[in-house]
Amino acid sequence: MMMMMIAAPAQVDLVGGYYDAGDHVKFGLPMAFTVTMLSWSLIEYGGDVADAGELGHALEAVKWGTDYFIKAHTRPDELWAEVRLDYSYSSYTTQPRRSLSSRRHLTCLTMPCRDGETSSL
């Protein structure tokens, strides 16, 4: 596996998925873990979620994450594993919509990719 840090090219659509925290970084591994746990929770407790009238919302949340991973896998040998702003992410906290025009840095994993959690989705 090879990792590359590059400036975000305009042709890579990585809209979607979930930020790791309030710092506007999308990490593939924790996001994959979260989507996996949400999915397993729906398998185990889907009836209870449906009884509460929230099954549609929960399924949309899973789809939002999985659709992102599909988009992040742009070629058979390429997975975009991290999206962050072009400066120290730990000191940046604002609303995501205010940062959409900022240049992003991406971490690309080229195959063979052994990111087990993300690739298992």
Residue-wise pLDDT for 12-61, tens only, equals 788 889 988 777 788 888 899 999 999 999 999 999 999 999 999 999 99
Residues 6 or more apart whose Cβ sits within 8 Å of residue 76: 111
Q: How many domains does the chain have?
A: 1
Which range in 54-63, 81-90, 94-103 is most confidently predicted, on average pLDDT? 54-63
Res. 65 pLDDT band, cuts 50 70 90: very high
DSSP 30: H
Domain of residue 77: give its range: 2-120
Q: Please give the model's pTM, rounded to 2 decimal places.
A: 0.70
Q: What is the pLDDT of residues 103-115, one digit of tens each?
A: 555 566 555 555 5
Go through 66-103 and write b for each residue having 16 or more CB atoms within 10 A of its CB, e for each that does not: bebbeebbeeeebbbbbbbbeeebeeeeeeeeeeeeee
Report which of 34, 117, 30, 119 is spatially closest to residue 72, judged by C-alpha positions: 119
